Chains A and B, each alone.
Chain A
Amino acid sequence: MADEKKYTTVSIPTPLFEKIQNKIKDTGFTSVSDYVTFVLREILAHGSSDEAFNEEDEKKVKDRLRSLGYLD
């Protein structure tokens, strides 16, 4: 029962599914689901908005805007 809650289904076009199937042949990925999960995790790990603007970044942008006359 617990496993049922951990996974859900998303739909992808059949030609894309087949393309992935061919791509992962003879690789460490055992299924299309494994591959798709891996790729999506990779993409989501990038650019998460939590780290989008830390203090140092904000300072960089503010300094630039100040030099351009937008802040004073």
Chain B
Amino acid sequence: MRVVVIGLDCAAPDLIFGKLKEYLPNLTSMTEDGIYGRLRSTDPPITVPAWMVMTTGRTPGELGLYGFRSRVGNSYNKIKIPMSTDIKFDTVWDILGKRNKKSIIIAVPPSYPPKPLPGLMVSDFLTPDRDKEFTYPPGLKREILRDFPDYQFDVKFRKPEKEKILQEIFNMTDTRFRMAEKFLDEKEWDFFFMVEIGIDRVHHAFWRYIDETSHLYEDNKEMRDKFIGYFQMVDDHVGRIVSKLDDDTVVLVVSDHGAKAMKGAFAINQWLIKEGYLKIKNDSIKEGSSLEEVDVDWSNSKAWAWGGYYARIFLNIKGREEQGIIEKENVREEINKLKSKLIGIRGPDGEEWKTRVFEPEEVYEEVNGDRSDLFVYLDDLNWRAAGTIGYKTDYLLENDTGPDDAVHDYDGIYIIYRKGKKIGKRIDSSIYRVAPTILELYRVRKRYGIKGEPMEGLYLVE
């Protein structure tokens, strides 16, 4: 038995199983013959940590990984981008490697710098550039750049050139799949896991052409066709991969989180300033300034926030932060007060929001690493958070940085498919079941501290 995992970053159930279904013959026939459903992501539903949860079976709390940045020490503005070396638990391919299984691992975040394994690894979109050592073994890099000279880790988003970017994303995805298909043909492997990040980039930048409910919706046939064309290309590659496999191979198509229309960005630090939590010394603040660009009066500030698809709030605690002012014994009271204020935030027209606020300890049994004091899902993630300040309003209908069409949603997708099996069942599942499912398919029964269970109905494909 072999397992092939095709990760489609951000693939959303409403598109793959719904709106785009008729355009995706391969994925659709896999759902008709296999098991499929919604895959509940991690909290927070963010690319990093979600893929590592999928590949280690550990929670973000255990991994100490809560997003695209971690705070260095208890500093106010020193941040660190997660690297492969920050992952202190075995991934499924590490476990399989110990059992003499060879793996092909492509672009699973975070995998830079690539770690040695029996098999080969190409690092992910957090790789700085192609000059770096982005493969294991190192010699593989030369082979990739010879055969796929246009190989890209990611795209950089530039607003005025949107159409050109769609073409760039298309080429990036197409090239990565062609490389993966070549490896499947030519390399020796027992396990395969690839992640394609392009789907996420297409959603964030072009969602307005596919979702009539979005306030940014544009009825633009050409762009809508291009959006669909991108997914047809992905579907075509999935079909090509599946056609290479025998009936002793199980295919898993998964995504780390879903997507939905972004309603706007809420300037969270600006709100903290208004509520008296954050003090800035500058007399005037340029629109869109980050906290690093202004003079923060830390010794008079109680809290500050990071933006992104969810907000992280840090309290300025005496003895923890350099200029902390909240006494340790008052932390609980301050947290409770701030929580209820955050939950009470209303929308731009005074409408009620379904904001969710929690402390890491409320969602994870174990909390490691540099976690924030609060996680905030503004209006149930419909509004993203902007960390920048200096705006006339707290409600920005366009994003402060980057693309502004889509935010993350809790549910991604999964499909389990094996040639020759006719199952056709929908069973919604959880991201915590992915690693146990892979290990179960290889009959690895030792738990390695992983708490999740294999997916329901797995016996049907075995």
Contact = CB atoms under 8 A, between A and B. Distances in A.
B113 A72 contact: no
A1 interface: no
B138 A52 contact: no
Interface in A32-64: 43, 46-47, 49, 52-53, 56-58, 60-64
B126 interface: yes
Given A46-B138, A61-B128, A68 B402 contact: yes
21 contacts: A43-B138, A47-B113, A57-B129, A64-B125, A64-B156, A66-B401, A66-B402, A67-B157, A67-B401, A67-B402, A68-B201, A68-B204, A68-B403, A69-B204, A69-B308, A69-B401, A70-B67, A70-B308, A71-B307, A72-B290, A72-B400
Given A58-B81, A68-B204, A68-B403, A53 B128 contact: yes
B157 A68 contact: yes
Contacts of A43: 137-138
Contact of A46 (B69, B128, B133, B308): B133
A61 B126 CA distance: 6
Given A46-B133, A53-B81, A64 B309 contact: no
Interface in B58-72: 67-69
A56 B129 CA distance: 11
A72 B388 contact: yes
A69 to B, nearest CB: 3
Contacts, number: 90
Nearest to B290: A72
Central interface residue in A47, A56, A67, by most chain B CB within 10 Å:
A47
Interface of B: 67-69, 79, 81, 83, 85, 112-114, 125-129, 132-133, 136-138, 154, 156-158, 201, 204, 290, 306-309, 384, 386-388, 399-404
B289 to A, nearest CB: 11
A52 B132 contact: yes
A47 B133 contact: yes
Contacts of B113: 47, 49, 52-53
A65 interface: yes
Q: Which 5 A-B pairs have the closest CB atoms?
A: A69-B402, A47-B133, A57-B128, A46-B138, A52-B113
Nearest to A52: B113
Contact of A60 (B128, B386, B404): B128
B83 A52 contact: yes
Contacts of A71: 68-69, 79, 306-308, 401
